[in-house]
Structure 1
Amino acid sequence: MVLMAIHSLSFIARSNSFLFSHIKGFQRTMQNLAIFDFDHTILDDNSDTAILELVDKNEIPQEIKNIQFTDGWTAFMQAIFTYMYEKGVTVEQILSHVQSLQPVGGMVDLIRNLKMKLNYDLVVVSDSNSVFIKTWLEKHKLETCFTEIFTNPTKIVGGMFQISPYDDQDVCKLSTRNLCKGKVLDEFIKSQQENGIFYNKLVYVGDGSNDFCPILRLKENDLACVRNNYKLLDLVQKAKRGKYVDNAGKPYMIKSLVCIWNTADDIADFLLSKN
């Protein structure tokens, strides 16, 4: 079923490409863009919390646990990395554990088909970190599918992970201070336009509350793929009922189509049904 869906979508993509390339004087490249969160979207797990299986969670000091509430998630993860290093957990053990995490059902095939058969540009926008994401994508031979990865930059120094915030923003109240995914999306699209690449359709795939801001930027022709039974679905449903409002009391508006998904096969089927 999914393979038939991909073949049908591939024909549509080729037809659109033919149309654009034969418009007289047309000098812009028209593409589609798919944006993916990482944890609980590509992965069927949370890479940050999954590595805590390598230590006794009950022994983690409360002052470390409190950091996520006082200083944010990136600072919390740095404290966790330092704690694990002091406990003798090696970089190799952590990366091996990240590599072992399973993808959402059908997600690997969806990513490959969007890139290789439907000629989508793909990006990751995630509040995880660069080492985890690149390591996992390389393990599953997906690294070449993605044009860009936007996440918290991380390096390994002296056998320990050092993570830095992607940004320091205080404009978007829907997002964390270190990462506004809507801002990242806007900036990427603008930079692509400056290079002559324009996106005809956006497909956003996510699950968490930090995916709500970029979904608000999607237009009628776009698609928001919202994972079932996760926080993002609650926010989207409240917005559609006019129950989720900004500080001025104005309801947030969802303009795009919405696909509620359990596996990536649901996304492939939905894309086919709308084309």
Structure 2
Amino acid sequence: MASMKLGTHLNADVLVLFAFNHTLVDVDSNVHIARALDADLANTIWSKNAADKKIDRAKTMDEFFVELAKHHPEVTHEDIRNAAQRLPFNQSILDAVRLVVDDFGATCKIVSDSTVFGVRSFLEHHGLADQVSEVVANSTHFEDGGKVLRVRPYHGNHLAPHGCRNCPNNLCKGVVLERILQQHRYAKVLYVGGGIEDFCPSTKLPNDITVIARNEVLSLPNTFPDTVQVQQWKAGDDVLSLLRNFFHQYPSKQVAKASVKTFSPISQVFSGSGQVLVVFDFDESLVNKDSDRFAFQCFHPELIKTLEERHALNPVWPSVFDELHQILANEKPELTPELICARVAQIPIQNRMVDAVRMAVEQFGAEVKIISDGNSLFIEKALKFHGLAPYINEVLTNQADLETMDNGRTRIRLRPHHDQPMNCSWCPSNLCKGSILDSIRNKKQYSHVLYVGDGIGDFCPASRLTKNDVVFARADEADGRSYGLQKRIDSNPTLIKASVVPWNTGDDIYRHFAQVLHAQT
């Protein structure tokens, strides 16, 4: 078993600098936050300085917040924080930050003529605070018992002028980059920016910097020195793709010298041509709940205890759920199968999980199947509701049908997937995911298999994967909740030949898929 963190061909010697305005967020954050709090006041203060091409944004924002406290004393620091958290953004840009840090081990910093409070509030809200090692922006603090947010220039008046003709007096990004590189000499620097004001660093460090610039900036003549490598981007997807391509091509440097555990590169595990098979478990993997339990929790939660008691006596889920659907039909005659299915169809699914499936199919031509100990009816309805039905090639699960009872009403019936009980030491008798996976691979040759699961029932198929495959095992939650697949892998490591990658969220799966499938192309 090769336990791994994706992208572990770590590049701790690479620095990726992101601008904030018009890059990490889609707008000028200073103006947007000010207008969200008081549009008239913001327009009045900013219009006074509109003619100044090198406007001191720290001074302007400080003036705004002082006046805001006078006109609106009811506005709190939480209101300002909320305005920063609501800044519009492109999800792919945030994915790019996570990609370079979590998957490739690069150092990520932000350089911005915004405020530290605004940038930090945005990062914390979107779960990026740990990925960004430093925010270089105009400093902030609260005065008057927390009622007034004050903004001070990064390059304070007590310092000698920075002398840059291209930057405002309060912040020269070129000087910032020089300071960063004096502290640590990086082998490579990438700068992702959205405006001409972001590229002063390119004029100061012509030999070891790559600028990833918006298209409109590239139309400006003589913007960059000839020695600067320039890549263009228009949308967040472009940045994500450019950074992914860079790190896959960049010669990696292991960081064992820094006493950091390293793993073999994903490209060594996952390369070559051929179609990829992606297999999802359904309950608590593709969707974020157990679909059968979800039905009873919604309509008859008192039966959950009965469910557990009966499963302890008969550990075959279809049989247990079939019995409980009979009880549900008797005790809740007003509940039709249509009502139950309509509710279960809306079962929660983690953010970006749908995007991960679509990306695998549309961008990389993967074949996606579901192997589940759930039931066909609930899975079919959920896939249709979440727009995933066209992307799923096959669903292999326990069969569910509608049966007319003697009283004329209908109920849901469940039958085991296998006609004959399976004799597998890892699986229940009604469904052996390992044998199903073997059957799939016997019918068609795939170059690699990606298996996404969470529970003990996913161990059997995981144990049948090869060194060319990857199993994504759901990791323990912060609240202490644990999942059976990872536990069973930890207890039987010699039985797993595939690489094991932990995941918690749909965002994790999306980013991991993007990297792994890109390595295949």
TM-score (norm 1): 0.80
- Write the distance in 2 (CA, Å) between the matches of 1:51 and 1:42: 17
User: Paired residues, what number?
Assistant: 242
What is aligned with 2:416? 165
Matches within 5 A, 1:38-117: 38-58=282-302, 62=306, 65-71=308-314, 72-86=316-330, 87-88=332-333, 89-117=335-363
- Write the distance in 1 (CA, Å) between the matches of 2:321 and 2:280: 22
Matches within 5 A, 1:4-23: 4=240
Query: Could you tell me the percent identity over the aligned residues?
Result: 27
The counterpart of 2:503, out of the listed 247, 250, 261, is 261
Contact 1:128/1:151 (8 A) holds in 2: yes
Cα deviations by residue, 1:175-229 (Å, 9 ceiling, x for unpaired): 000000000000111122xxxxx20010000000000000011111110000112
- Write the distance in 2 (CA, Å) between the matches of 1:51 and 1:175: 24
Specify whether residues 84 and 7 from structure 1 end up closer, same or farther in structure 2 by C-alpha distance, changes over 3 A only.
farther
The counterpart of 1:214, out of the listed 461, 478, 483, is 461
Specify whether residues 268 and 6 from structure 1 end up closer, same or farther in structure 2 by C-alpha distance, changes over 3 A only.
farther
Contact 1:220/1:255 (8 A) holds in 2: yes
- Write the distance in 2 (CA, Å) between the matches of 1:111 and 1:170: 30
* 2:275 is the alignment partner of 1:31: yes
What is aligned with 1:124? 370
* 2:177 is the alignment partner of 1:177: no
Contact 1:78/1:161 (8 A) holds in 2: yes
RMSD (Å) for aligned C-alpha atoms: 2.5
Cα deviations by residue, 1:214-268 (Å, 9 ceiling, x for unpaired): 001111111000011211111112223xxxxxxxxxxx42111111001132233
Shift of 1:93: 1.9
The residue matched to 1:41 in structure 2 has which SS? helix
Shift of 1:44: 0.7
Cα deviations by residue, 1:55-94 (Å, 9 ceiling, x for unpaired): 44336785x6533223321111001111111121211221
Gaps of at least 5 residues in structure 2 are 1-94, 97-236, 250-271, 405-409, 477-482
Cα deviations by residue, 1:5-64 (Å, 9 ceiling, x for unpaired): 69959x99xxxxxx86xxxxxxxxx310000000000111111111112444336785x6
Higher relative contact order (CA 8 A, sep 6+): 1
- Write the distance in 2 (CA, Å) between the matches of 1:165 and 1:7: 47
Contact 2:296/2:304 (8 A) holds in 1: no
What is aligned with 1:249? none
- Write the distance in 2 (CA, Å) between the matches of 1:140 and 1:120: 19
Cα deviations by residue, 1:111-168 (Å, 9 ceiling, x for unpaired): 1110111100010000000000010001111111111100001111222111100013
Amino acid at match of 2:452: V
* 2:448 is the alignment partner of 1:201: yes
Structure of higher CA gyration radius = 2
The residue matched to 1:175 in structure 2 has which SS? coil
Contact 1:5/1:269 (8 A) holds in 2: no
- Write the distance in 2 (CA, Å) between the matches of 1:162 and 1:6: 51
The residue matched to 1:171 in structure 2 has which SS? coil
TM-score (norm 2): 0.44
- Write the distance in 2 (CA, Å) between the matches of 1:80 and 1:162: 10
The counterpart of 1:141, out of the listed 387, 390, 396, is 387
Gaps of at least 5 residues in structure 1 are 13-18, 21-29, 193-197, 241-251
- Write the distance in 1 (CA, Å) between the matches of 2:435 and 2:361: 24
- Write the distance in 2 (CA, Å) between the matches of 1:58 and 1:85: 14
